[in-house]
Chains A and B, each alone.
Chain A
Amino acid sequence: MRPGEDAMRPGEDAMRPGEDAMDDPYAVDRRDFLKTGATVAAATAVACGGSGGPWRALTEGEARTLAAACDQIVPPDDAPGAAEAGAVVFIDRQLATREKDQLELWRRGLRGLDATARRRHGAAFAEIGFEDQTALLRDVETGEAFAADWNEVEPAAFFGRLVSFTMMGFYGDPRHGGNRERVAWRMLGVPDPPVRGRLHETPPPPSPAKAG
């Protein structure tokens, strides 16, 4: 552990088997994420769960649907999307702990996504095209999704949670399983790794630009 770095909490944010601690922490994975959602979402769902290990709260199918939905909220481009960043791991952990009483709401919402996708496109949400997923989620957001698919849960209520938790899982603290390897902070250009023991004698930043 470097001086000033936080200790890892047991089971959280730890290195996974096969990961190389000497990897360049600034390297950005530039795989092509602009393929259709299906394969990417499925692949990332598996990747985020480690070696196919069991999720703490979600089923494999729910996690696949959620991964596709997370990638709609923060889509992959030249930086990773939410699913690759670990948003599903983050949400799954919350649903197994702090948000336990919300698990049923999430289950119903994920079922709603799949039911709507089947009605419109004849396939589960994770299997339909990226643009179709976007259009479908817009209707969920505005409450215009087909009512019969959403009789278990208020679509807008589910969608609000989906957005806020995906954002937390992407931009939030890595110790909760999201923002894996601080990808979001590196994307934003936030100094990384975080300097937790900086002294006030740190040299001043470049001269402030004059306001125009």
Chain B
Amino acid sequence: MALSRVNVVIVGAGAGGGVAACQLAEAGLSVVLLEKGRWHSPFDERKDDLVNQRNSSLGVAYGPDEEKNPRVFVDLSGRARIVRPRQGEYSPNASCVGGGTVSYGAQAWRFMPQDFRMRSTYGEVEGSTLEDWPIGYDDLEPWYEKAEYEIGVSGDVSANPFGGPRRKPLPMPPMEPKSIEYGILKPAALRLGLHPFDTPLLINSVPYSGRSACMRIRWCVGFACETGAKNGTHNTVIPRALATGSCELRTRSVAKEVMVDDRGRATGVAYFDEKDRLREQPADVVVVSGGATESARLLLMSKSRLFPEGLGNRHDWVGRNMTGHTYTGAVGFFEQETYDDIGPGVCISVCDYNHGTPGIVGGGMLANEFIRLPIQFVGSAPPGTPRWGKAHKDFMRRCYRRNIMIQGPTHDLPTWDGRVQLDPEVKDHWGLPVLRISGDNHEQTRITANLQAERAEAWLKEAGAVLTYQRRAGRGVTGHQHQSGTCRMGRDPKTSVVDPSCRIHDVPNVFVMDASVHVTNGGFNPVLTIFANAYRASELLAKAWKGGGLKG
């Protein structure tokens, strides 16, 4: 059944789609925003230690639906199996209005200038599709600032000498009071000659934009904020988009394909509504922003006479180069108490190790970890400690309030075989082919990540830890909540999917606005870059619209 035509249909109301909806609706375009999940109240799933987006032992709180959305995971030995959203191999990201921004840890990092020039900085790396972005830090700087002010960031990055130039400080000061961990780690970092500073967070340290300040509870990362102090698209730009009166949000709407006519132009999006009825939403412009896994899947499912392998996939780049981050770090145990129940936990970080180590490709930011809930700490015993019985119980009692974890995201090197594709057999609830995830992280990434673990351990030792151990790099393609790279941005249509304005090379009216377009994913949590690039790309889209170039 056809619906009335709109200017833009956006698929996915997460970080990228939420920003795009606001920008385009405020520019006067009519917008339909399709979202697969629901619009959750933070009171729907109250602070359940076992059902959230961080510890999903019994399930995820904010989607995707466990039964309706299987995927296939291929392990390093080539064995394929069906996985569910509660499993790490699924590369789960929340599926709801706001996407991952409802329940994320909310670290608000700008990538560094070198992060956009990895190939120029480090040269060719064998086995990696490493490439520069076609845009640089300077292109994003004004949009980083806009994201920091419109969505809301607290912290103090003035003591970080490694970041790119910025015109304005962060809009909110760091959280007060400081935690015990901050008081231990900051002087230790200074003694090591590092440059520690207050982690930027998309969390209100003071009342901001009509929402309250953080109440410093321990249930933060993985949970929705009951007071709205954690800023995502669900409580900032999406309400603004709806307030214009020209944006309609449709939840529980599952995109099936981007429809394309015989001239190779998109005509809209076919989707299943909340009652599983197939609908068609005609539009002049389509914006795909389902996250790096689902955006690639939608393009691959959008097969037509002109695009038999899927939209934007003429040269087989859609779904490839998937990276997230290889996380490593260290755990330190202290004689003194380090636990004060002052959330969210992460508060002190260094960027000394992101770039510039001779013989090493890239690096990453290091910071202390969010508060570990008791069930999350169960697996934190040092190697050699029994994992059950009296000795384990004694470990919990002795160490729960006396430990610090430092970790960080290592800049992943993309590979041709680290990818998502459509599974030839398994279908979801709607009969659509599910994603098949396969590949490995790059050997050089693991080397860098293990060096980061050693650095984290050295920081903890300097801080007075009496016992430490490293959490070293694992294997397998990364993706997870930092999923990126599957619709690479570039100038050459033969080696990328979208152009620098995020428009698919050979389709004039389809754009991708999420981390899919990241050529590389920085040594940082990527969300602020997703916001900034969506601001930038939707501004370009709105300008092109006003110039008349996008009307069908």
Residue ranges of A at the interface with B (Cβ–Cβ < 8 Å):
6, 72-75, 77, 79, 94, 98, 134, 163-164, 166-168, 171-173, 175-176, 184-185, 187-191, 194-200, 202, 204-205, 207-212
Contact = CB atoms under 8 A, between A and B. Distances in A.
B50 A75 contact: no
Contacts of B336: 209
Given A196-B47, A197-B215, A72 B388 contact: yes
A164 B376 CA distance: 11
B47 to A, nearest CB: 7
B216 A205 contact: no
B378 A171 contact: yes
Consensus secondary structure, chain B interface: loop
17 contacts: A73-B388, A74-B392, A74-B393, A77-B390, A79-B397, A163-B387, A172-B50, A175-B48, A189-B400, A195-B217, A195-B341, A198-B215, A200-B205, A202-B177, A204-B177, A211-B462, A211-B464
Nearest to A6: B46
Contacts of B213: 200
A198 B220 CA distance: 13
B383 interface: no
Given A167-B378, A171-B396, A210 B47 contact: no
B374 A211 contact: no
B57 A205 contact: no
B180 interface: yes
Contacts of B216: 198, 200, 202
B426 interface: no
Contact of B401 (A166, A189, A197, A198): A189
Given A73-B389, A187-B397, A211-B188, A200 B58 contact: no
Contacts of B423: none
Given A134-B389, A189-B400, 6 more contacts: A72-B389, A74-B392, A171-B374, A184-B374, A200-B175, A200-B205
Interface string B30-49: 00000000000000001111
B183 A196 contact: no
Interface of B: 46-51, 57-59, 175-180, 182-185, 187-188, 205, 213-218, 226, 336, 339-342, 374-375, 377-378, 387-390, 392-393, 396-397, 400-401, 462-464
B178 A208 contact: yes
B82 to A, nearest CB: 13
Nearest to A166: B388
Given A73-B388, A173-B50, A200-B216, A164 B57 contact: yes
Given A176-B50, A188-B396, A196-B226, A171 B375 contact: yes
A173 B183 contact: no
A208 B182 contact: yes
Contacts of B182: 208
B46 A209 contact: no
A208 B177 CA distance: 11
B337 to A, nearest CB: 8
A200 to B, nearest CB: 5
A210 B187 contact: yes
B341 A191 contact: yes
A45 to B, nearest CB: 19
The list of the 6 closest CB pairs from A to B, nearest first, reads A208-B183, A204-B177, A173-B49, A171-B374, A205-B340, A188-B400
A212 B217 CA distance: 28
B184 A208 contact: yes
A205 B179 contact: yes
A138 to B, nearest CB: 9
Contacts of B389: 72-73, 75, 134
Nearest to A73: B388
A101 B226 CA distance: 34
B180 A205 contact: yes
Nearest to A202: B216
A190 B341 contact: yes
Contacts of B177: 202, 204-205
B374 A188 contact: yes
Nearest to A185: B374
A129 B118 CA distance: 62
A21 B173 CA distance: 43
A211 B393 contact: no
A133 B390 CA distance: 13
Contacts of A190: 218, 341, 374, 400
Contacts of B187: 210-211
B179 A176 contact: no
Contacts of B51: 173
A196 to B, nearest CB: 7
Nearest to B182: A208
Contacts of A207: 183
A86 B323 CA distance: 41
Given A200-B213, A211-B464, A173 B393 contact: no
Nearest to A94: B58
A168 B58 contact: yes
Contacts of B397: 79, 187-188
B388 A200 contact: no
Contacts of A196: 47, 217, 226
